[in-house]
Amino acid sequence: MTSTRPLTGTRQSQAIPLLSLSGITKSFSNIVANSNIKLSLNHGEIHALLGENGAGKSTLVKIIYGLISADSGEMYISNTKYRPKNPKDARKNRIGMVFQHFSLFNAMNVYENIAVGLDDSFSELDLRYRIIDLSKKYGLPLNPNDVVGNLSAGQQQRIEIVRCLLQSPKLLIMDEPTSVLNPMEIEQLFNTLRKLASEGTSILYISHKLNEVKELCNRATVLRGGKVIRTCNIKDYSTAEIAELMVGNSVKATVRTNKIFGETLLKIQNLYQDSEDPYGISIKNLNLEIKSGQILGIGGVSGNGQEELMTALSGELKPKKGKILFNGSLINSLNSEERRSLGIFSAPEERLGHAACPDMTLSDNVLITCSKTANLTKYGFIQKDLTKNLAQNIISKFDVRTKDFSSLASSLSGGNLQKFVVGRELLQNPKLLVINQPTWGVDAAAANFIRQAIINLAEAGTAVIIISQDLDELLEVSDDFTALVSGRISNPRPVGDLGLKDIGEMMSGTLLDD
Partner 1 sequence: MIEIVPRTQKSNLISATIPIMAVILTMLFGGILFWSLGKNPFETIRMIFWDPLMNETFADYARPQILVKAAPLILIAIGLSFGFRANIWNIGAEGQFIMGAILSGSLGLYMYPQESSILFPLMIILGIFGGILWASIPGLLRAYFNTNEILVSLMLVYVAEQIMAAASIGFLRNPDGSGFPGSRNLSQYPSAANLEIIAGTGIHWGVATSIIAVLFFYILLHKHKFGFQVSISGISPKAARLSGINPKFLIIWCLGISGGLAGLAGMFELTGPAGQINIDFNVGYGFTAIIVAFLGRLNPIGIFFAGILMALTYVGGELTQFMLNLPAAAIQVFQGMLLFFLLSMDLLVNYKIKLKRS
Nearest to 355 by CA among 440, 451, 459: 440
332 lines the binding site for partner 1 (CB under 8 A): no
428 lines the binding site for partner 1 (CB under 8 A): no
354 lines the binding site for partner 1 (CB under 8 A): yes
Q: Rounded to an integer, what distance in angstroms lies between the CA atom of residue 492 and that of residue 481?
A: 5
328 lines the binding site for partner 1 (CB under 8 A): no
Q: Determine the size of the site formed for partner 1 (CB under 8 A).
A: 31
Residue 31 beta carbon to partner 1: minimum distance, rounded to whole angstroms = 17
Determine phi and psi for 6, rounding to 5 degrees: -65, 135
Q: Rounded to an integer, what distance in angstroms lies between the CA atom of residue 5 and that of residue 149?
A: 46
Which residue, 357 or 512, has its beta carbon nearer to partner 1? Answer: 357
263 lines the binding site for partner 1 (CB under 8 A): no
Kindly tell me which residue out of 112, 241, 289, 316 binds partner 1, with binding defined by CB under 8 A: 316
Kindly tell me which residue out of 59, 369, 402, 482 binds partner 1, with binding defined by CB under 8 A: 369
388 lines the binding site for partner 1 (CB under 8 A): no
Which residue, 440 or 481, has its beta carbon nearer to partner 1? Answer: 440
Nearest to 172 by CA among 157, 185, 187: 157
**Between the CA of residue 295 and those of 304, 463, 467, what are the distances in Å?**
21, 6, 11
382 lines the binding site for partner 1 (CB under 8 A): yes
Q: What is the dihedral of CA 213, 25, 60, 55, to 10 degrees?
A: 50
Are the C-beta atoms of residues 68 and 26 closer than 8 Å to each other?
A: yes
368 lines the binding site for partner 1 (CB under 8 A): yes
Q: Pick the stretch among 62-70, 131-139, 165-173, 373-381 that binds partner 1 (CB under 8 A).
A: 373-381
Which residue, 47 or 340, has its beta carbon nearer to partner 1? Answer: 340
109 lines the binding site for partner 1 (CB under 8 A): no
Residue 404 beta carbon to partner 1: minimum distance, rounded to whole angstroms = 17
Q: Rounded to an integer, what distance in angstroms lies between the CA atom of residue 66 and that of residue 89?
A: 7
Kindly tell me which residue out of 199, 277, 337, 385 binds partner 1, with binding defined by CB under 8 A: 337
Are the C-beta atoms of residues 330 and 324 closer than 8 Å to each other?
A: yes
Which residue, 369 or 469, has its beta carbon nearer to partner 1? Answer: 369
HSE-CB for 395 with a 13 A CA cutoff: 20
Which residue, 89 or 241, has its beta carbon nearer to partner 1? Answer: 89
Which residue, 275 or 508, has its beta carbon nearer to partner 1? Answer: 275
The identity of residue 113, as a single letter, is N
Residue 460 beta carbon to partner 1: minimum distance, rounded to whole angstroms = 24
Q: Rounded to an integer, what distance in angstroms lies between the CA atom of residue 32 and that of residue 28?
A: 6
The string of DSSP letters for 4-65 reads -S----SSSTTSPPSEEEEEEEEEETTEEEEEEEEEEE-TT-EEEEE--TTSSHHHHHHHHT
40 lines the binding site for partner 1 (CB under 8 A): no
Q: Pick the stretch among 18-26, 183-191, 324-332, 359-367 that binds partner 1 (CB under 8 A).
A: 359-367
Contacts of 488 (CB under 8 A, 6+ apart): 283, 284, 285, 286, 305, 509, 512
340 lines the binding site for partner 1 (CB under 8 A): yes
The sign one gets for the Cα dihedral 456, 460, 506, 187 is negative
437 lines the binding site for partner 1 (CB under 8 A): no
385 lines the binding site for partner 1 (CB under 8 A): no
Residue 406 beta carbon to partner 1: minimum distance, rounded to whole angstroms = 13
**Which residues ranging from 391 to 420 are in contact with partner 1 (CB under 8 A)?**
411
HSE-CB for 5 with a 13 A CA cutoff: 3
Kindly tell me which residue out of 115, 172, 232, 367 binds partner 1, with binding defined by CB under 8 A: 367
Residue 492 beta carbon to partner 1: minimum distance, rounded to whole angstroms = 26
Which residue, 166 or 334, has its beta carbon nearer to partner 1? Answer: 334
Helix (H) or strand (E) holding 330: strand 329-330
Q: Pick the stretch among 123-131, 295-303, 379-387, 464-472 that binds partner 1 (CB under 8 A).
A: 379-387
Pairing of strands 72-77, 295-299: unpaired
The identity of residue 484, as a single letter, is L
Pairing of strands 46-50, 219-224: parallel
Site string for partner 1, 277-306 (x = CB under 8 A): ------------------------------
371 lines the binding site for partner 1 (CB under 8 A): yes
Nearest to 486 by CA among 318, 280, 313, 310: 280
350 lines the binding site for partner 1 (CB under 8 A): yes
325 lines the binding site for partner 1 (CB under 8 A): no
357 lines the binding site for partner 1 (CB under 8 A): yes
Are the C-beta atoms of residues 130 and 158 closer than 8 Å to each other?
A: no
Which residue, 263 or 359, has its beta carbon nearer to partner 1? Answer: 359
The string of DSSP letters for 358-398 reads TTSBHHHHHHHHHTTTTT-EETTEE-HHHHHHHHHHHHHHT
338 lines the binding site for partner 1 (CB under 8 A): yes
Residue 391 beta carbon to partner 1: minimum distance, rounded to whole angstroms = 14
Contacts of 302 (CB under 8 A, 6+ apart): 53, 349, 437, 469
Binding residues vs partner 1 (CB under 8 A): 314-316, 335-338, 340, 346, 348, 350, 352-360, 364, 367-369, 371, 377, 380-382, 384, 411
